[in-house]
């Protein structure tokens, strides 16, 4: 799914209204209907009200049954708080308030902001609300009791155009909405930057975000991916031909974007690539074995795991039998020769930062022409030798987490705009940047970025990154194309999701994830 920036959305809206003659109030009504549809579909009471009926029924000591509780809530008039800004996002909210009022809901609709700044479309929606018997009151931040405890709150304060921290009255409105059972945001949760997913001071934590026409990057990256809840993309009537797909630089990875080809009946191991892995050091024997196991599960035809001689017996005993564990010889030239016979290389998991490790990393980057995945200590080493990365002609994929990325770039933590930072680095250094974390970002040197939706907190354990590096190396050995990086990220996350379904997020391990890789791949064949 293509993700559009705030600037792109404004231009598309302009074209629809000015060039195609689509009335802006028609688009607003369509947006409101999409909001209302999601509001009415919510189970009432919300998450904060599970015990509500009990207080009503137990005054005489009677404990209500589940059926009695359901009947109570079905008969009770549902309530909604709609808080609107003066712009067109607020107009969406006012229109939604009218529709919910007409549907029999108890509605309180309030304007957060000065009336003199209301747009003409927002004013028109206020007139329609009044005609339906409703009222748009002025929000009073000093009133602590009027705007709390509703079944649903609709956040229509600000849309995609917000780029500064919330005003005090808007911040108070956000706190009031948090007391309601459910929170539904219109287009983008107020306080979330539509392009970066950053929180501007404070922001609405929505259970559902109904975003209009197309997804926005900020709903899927950064804190926005957490604050947006379940994202629903609603068609509000903008013609398909107005969307500049060739100008869209960010995409949310979907299952339909991936394909694992069936193996030909007459295939042999050489058809699926040879992978070279340089990894491991004293005290770090798990990382190389996890990378090798993931590579084998990822379908590589031949996997060579090169480790320092002093840990060779441990690695040989721990590693899967299907990978060839090779003790590093004393001569660097022999390592280059062995690696040069492979289709791809993974460099870095548990490698350490010693003198020989650094020399080998730099030598392989200079001498090898095949695709290389730089991970862990490989990244730490190259951070001191960016010139070697810049000089390399072959495909190079870097897989840092935020801390490693900060060392690579000198940026401060936390990274405020992960999408922009990953894209800028990839373009500056002609590489593929895989910035790991919640909603891992894969940035191509062309400026195209893929956001990954798979994965879960159970993967936040040492060794998960090693598994990703090995899996990515396996896919690269097979075909050697840059888009294999994003596919590996998606598969890695999907395998993690399958592991969580089986073992739970707390108890799952990177080994559990690796064992699920074949099943994740099988879903795509």
**DSSP annotation string for 429-463:** HTSEEEE-STT-EEE-TTS-EEE-----GGG-STT
pLDDT digit string, tens, across residues 411-441: 888 898 999 999 999 999 999 999 999 999 9
Phi, psi of 53 (to 5 degrees): -60, -30
In a domain? residue 261:
no
346 shares a domain with 237: no
State which H helix or E strand residue 287 sits in: helix 286-297
- Please, are residues 172 and 147 in contact by the beta-carbon 8 Å criterion? no
Q: Which of 248, 282, 315 is the C-terminal boundary of a domain?
A: 248
CATH number of the domain bearing residue 288: 3.40.1190.20
CA-based nearest residue to 408, from 420, 418, 398: 398
393 shares a domain with 349: yes
In a domain? residue 525:
no
CA-only gyration radius of the chain, Å = 27
145 to 141, 176, 179, 483: CA distances (angstroms): 10, 9, 11, 54
220 shares a domain with 138: yes
Give the span between the Cα atoms of 446 and 426, in whole angstroms.
Answer: 8
In a domain? residue 253:
no
109 shares a domain with 22: yes
3-state secondary structure (DSSP) of residue 499: helix
Q: Are strands 432-435 and 441-443 parallel, antiparallel or unpaired?
A: antiparallel
Given a cut of 50, the residues of the chain with pLDDT beneath it are: 48-59
238 shares a domain with 140: yes
Phi-psi region of 186 (alpha: psi -120 to 50; beta: other; left: phi over 0): beta
3-state secondary structure (DSSP) of residue 81: strand
Sheet of strand 152-156, all strands in order from the earlier edge strand to the far edge: 136-138, 106-111, 79-84, 152-156, 182-186, 208-212, 230-234
Range of the domain at 322: 270-520
Give the span between the Cα atoms of 145 and 147, in whole angstroms.
Answer: 6
203 shares a domain with 146: yes
67 shares a domain with 134: yes
Provide the pLDDT for residue 472: 98
Give the span between the Cα atoms of 413 and 418, in whole angstroms.
Answer: 11
pLDDT digit string, tens, across residues 28-71: 999 999 999 999 999 886 554 444 444 444 445 566 676 766 66
Q: Which of 214, 248, 282 is the C-terminal boundary of a domain?
A: 248
| Residue 158 token pair | 């600000």
State which H helix or E strand residue 83 sits in: strand 79-84
In a domain? residue 265:
no
Contacts of 135 (CB under 8 A, 6+ apart): 109, 129
In the numeric block, the tokens 């074949």 are attached to 518
Phi, psi of 412 (to 5 degrees): -85, 150
CA-based nearest residue to 80, from 177, 212, 3: 177
In a domain? residue 453:
yes
317 shares a domain with 243: no
Provide the pLDDT for residue 45: 66
CA-based nearest residue to 483, from 400, 397, 399: 397
CATH number of the domain bearing residue 127: 3.40.50.10260
- Please, are residues 469 and 375 in contact by the beta-carbon 8 Å criterion? yes
Q: How many domains does the chain have?
A: 2
Contacts of 400 (CB under 8 A, 6+ apart): 379, 407, 408, 433, 434, 435, 436
CA-based nearest residue to 236, from 183, 186, 163, 184: 186
Q: Which of 194, 214, 248 is the C-terminal boundary of a domain?
A: 248
Give the span between the Cα atoms of 117 and 87, in whole angstroms.
Answer: 7
374 shares a domain with 440: yes
Provide the pLDDT for residue 49: 47
Contacts of 410 (CB under 8 A, 6+ apart): none
Measured over the CA atoms of residue 86, residue 87, residue 93 and residue 96, the dihedral's sign is positive
- Please, are residues 122 and 87 in contact by the beta-carbon 8 Å criterion? yes
* DSSP classification of residue 157: S
| Burial per residue of 188-210, b for 16 or more beta-carbon CB atoms within 10 angstroms, e otherwise | bbbbbbbbbbbbbeebbbbbbbb
Query: Residue 350: is it exposed, middle or buried by C-beta count within 10 angstroms (0-12/13-18/19+)?
Result: buried
In a domain? residue 302:
yes
Give the span between the Cα atoms of 201 and 47, in whole angstroms.
Answer: 25
In a domain? residue 322:
yes
In a domain? residue 76:
yes
477 shares a domain with 371: yes
- Please, are residues 283 and 30 in contact by the beta-carbon 8 Å criterion? no
CA-based nearest residue to 310, from 351, 282, 345, 332: 282
pLDDT digit string, tens, across residues 455-473: 999 999 999 999 999 999 9
441 shares a domain with 294: yes
338 shares a domain with 217: no
């Amino acid at each position: 799914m293509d993700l559009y920036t705030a600037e792109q959305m404004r231009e598309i809206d302009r074209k629809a209204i000015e060039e195609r003659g689509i009335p802006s109030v028609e688009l607003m009504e369509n947006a409101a209907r999409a909001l209302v549809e999601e509001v009415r579909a919510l189970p009432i009471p919300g998450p904060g009200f599970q015990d509500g009926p009990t207080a009503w029924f137990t005054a005489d000591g009677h404990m209500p049954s589940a059926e009695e509780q359901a009947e109570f809530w079905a008969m009770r008039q549902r309530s909604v708080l709609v808080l609107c800004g003066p712009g067109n996002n607020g107009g969406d909210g006012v229109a939604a308030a009218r529709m919910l009022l007409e549907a029999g809901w108890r509605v309180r609709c309030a304007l957060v902001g000065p009336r003199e700044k209301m747009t003409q479309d927002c004013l028109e929606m206020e007139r329609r609300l009044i005609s339906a018997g409703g009222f748009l009151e002025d929000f009073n931040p000093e009133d602590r009791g009027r705007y709390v405890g509703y079944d649903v709150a609709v956040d229509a304060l600000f849309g995609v155009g917000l780029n500064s921290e919330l005003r005090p009255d808007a911040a108070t409105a956000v706190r009031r909405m948090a007391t309601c059972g459910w929170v539904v945001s219109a287009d983008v949760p107020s306080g979330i930057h539509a392009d970066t997913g950053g929180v501007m001071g404070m922001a609405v934590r929505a259970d559902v975000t109904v975003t209009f026409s197309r997804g926005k990057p900020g709903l899927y990256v950064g804190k926005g991916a957490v604050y947006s809840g379940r994202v629903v993309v609603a068609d509000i009537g903008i013609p398909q031909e107005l969307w500049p797909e060739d100008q869209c630089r960010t995409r949310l990875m979907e299952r339909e974007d991936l394909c694992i080809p069936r193996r030909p009946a007459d295939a042999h191991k050489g058809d699926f690539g040879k992978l070279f892995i340089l990894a491991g050091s004293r005290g770090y024997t798990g990382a190389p074995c996890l990378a090798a196991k993931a590579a084998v599960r990822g379908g590589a035809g031949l996997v060579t795991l090169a480790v320092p001689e002093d840990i060779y017996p441990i690695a040989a005993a721990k590693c899967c039998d299907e990978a060839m564990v090779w003790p590093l010889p004393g001569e660097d030239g022999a390592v280059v020769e062995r690696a040069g016979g492979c289709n791809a290389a993974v460099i870095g998991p548990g490698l350490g930062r010693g003198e020989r490790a650094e020399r080998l990393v730099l030598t392989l980057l200079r001498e090898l022409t095949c695709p290389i995945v730089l991970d862990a200590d490989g990244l730490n080493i190259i951070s001191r030798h960016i010139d070697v990365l810049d000089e390399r002609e072959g495909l190079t994929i870097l897989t840092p987490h935020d801390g490693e990325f900060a060392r690579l770039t000198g940026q401060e933590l936390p990274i405020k705009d992960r999408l922009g930072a990953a894209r800028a680095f990839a373009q500056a250094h002609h590489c593929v940047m895989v910035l790991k974390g919640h909603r891992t970002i894969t940035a191509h040197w062309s400026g195209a970025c893929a956001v990954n939706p798979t994965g879960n907190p159970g993967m936040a354990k040492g060794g998960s990154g090693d598994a990703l590096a090995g899996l990515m190396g396996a896919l690269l050995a097979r075909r050697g194309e840059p888009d294999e990086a994003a596919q590996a990220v998606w598969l890695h996350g999907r395998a993690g999701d399958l592991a969580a379904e089986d073992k739970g997020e707390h108890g799952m391990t990177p080994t559990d994830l690796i064992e699920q890789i074949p099943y994740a791949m099988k879903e795509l064949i």
